[in-house]
């Protein structure tokens, strides 16, 4: 048997906003390296940097994080609707 037969597909872990905020707070407040805090939390060491930058990026764009997600989902919905309308048009 191959090793691939026993491996489960990788799933992306989801973190709550509270967990992200706590991780960023620990990195900011503790006098330890980011890699050590990340190791203690069981996360990749690049995640605290990303989570720390997300609110700033959203603020710079004039949006809060939730509105960015809402806009993204609206864009996906409109693209789907556009594809359906193109198919209907082509059938006529």
The pLDDT of residue 52: 87
Task: Give the contacts of 20 (CB within 8 A, at least 6 positions apart).
Answer: 51
Structure tokens at 28: 């900011």
Could you write out the DSSP letters of every residue in 24-52?
A: HHHHHHSSS-HHHHHHHHTS-TTHHHHHH
The whole-number mean pLDDT for each consecutive block of 10 residues of the chain, a chain of 92 residues, reads 56 88 90 90 92 78 73 94 95 86
pTM of the model: 0.52
The pLDDT of residue 1: 45
């Amino acid at each position: 048997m191959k090793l691939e037969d026993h491996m489960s597909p990788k799933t992306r872990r989801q973190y709550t906003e509270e967990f992200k905020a706590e991780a960023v707070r620990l990195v900011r407040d503790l006098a330890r390296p980011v890699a050590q805090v990340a190791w203690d939390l069981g996360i990749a060491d690049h995640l605290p940097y990303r989570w720390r930058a997300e609110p700033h990026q959203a603020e710079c764009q004039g949006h809060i994080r939730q509105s960015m997600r809402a806009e993204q989902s609206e864009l996906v919905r409109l693209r789907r609707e556009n594809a359906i309308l193109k198919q209907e048009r082509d059938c006529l």
